[in-house]
Amino acid sequence: MSESTERTSARIELLAAKPEDKPVLANLLELYIYDFSELLGLEIGEDGRFGYPRLSLYWSEPERYPFLVRVDGKLAGFALARKGEGVTGVGAVWDLAEFFVLRAYRRRGVGMQAAHEVWSRFPGQWEVRVMEENAPALRFWMDAVARFCSDVVSPVRVEGDGRWWQVFAFKS
């Protein structure tokens, strides 16, 4: 079943991550990056970690917001939102820089609800970038954006960093 058809009756929370949550977020980022390593050809470091050098910026720079996703109080994922220059040329936009839901919680409405909550917390112009070769993510984001906007939002194809992206642009 797709995420949009199977729902959970669990309590889904999007909580602002505090500085003391940084190690937890760093661990979740390792799982997230591992999922992408196949698509991006990423290599693990000699320390056995991929690392995410920009994580500290989410507590030191304005317009960056880290979140943890919990389901019935249990850790289920994260979202990193930021405001910056968009890729579609409309100026500063909100960007869901990184977003991850643990496999055990996928296709249960957790990701959809968490994404909608992030977009609702930060009104304005949004861009969501998805690698073209990541077909499951592309399907998820197409559905999540359409449900949030109550209409189909056609993505724009953009090249960046040597790969092609589908970018969904919309207002919240």
Q: How many CB atoms lie within 10 A of CB 7?
A: 14
Give helix 110-121 / helix 135-149 axis angle, nearest 10°.
50
The domain total for the chain is: 1
Does residue 6 form part of some domain? Answer: no
Does residue 145 form part of some domain? Answer: yes
CA–CA separation, 117 and 67 (whole Å): 11
CA–CA separation, 66 and 80 (whole Å): 5
Does residue 7 form part of some domain? Answer: no
Does residue 1 form part of some domain? Answer: no
The larger pLDDT score, comparing residue 33 to residue 68, is at 68
Does residue 162 form part of some domain? Answer: yes
Does residue 121 form part of some domain? Answer: yes
Tokens of 135: 């077909």
Does residue 82 form part of some domain? Answer: yes
Which CATH number does the domain housing residue 64 bear? 3.40.630.30
Q: What is the pLDDT of residue 8?
A: 62
Please compute the mean of the pLDDT values over residues 81-90 and round it to a whole number: 84
List Cβ<8 Å contacts ≥24 apart for 32-40.
Answer: 32/78, 32/98, 32/100, 35/100, 39/131, 39/133, 39/134
CA–CA separation, 70 and 89 (whole Å): 34
pLDDT digits (tens, 9 = 90+) for 18-39: 999 999 999 999 998 888 777 7
Query: Is 70 exceeded by the pLDDT of residue 55?
Result: yes
Domain that holds residue 66: 12-171
Q: What is the pLDDT of residue 160?
A: 80
Does residue 61 form part of some domain? Answer: yes
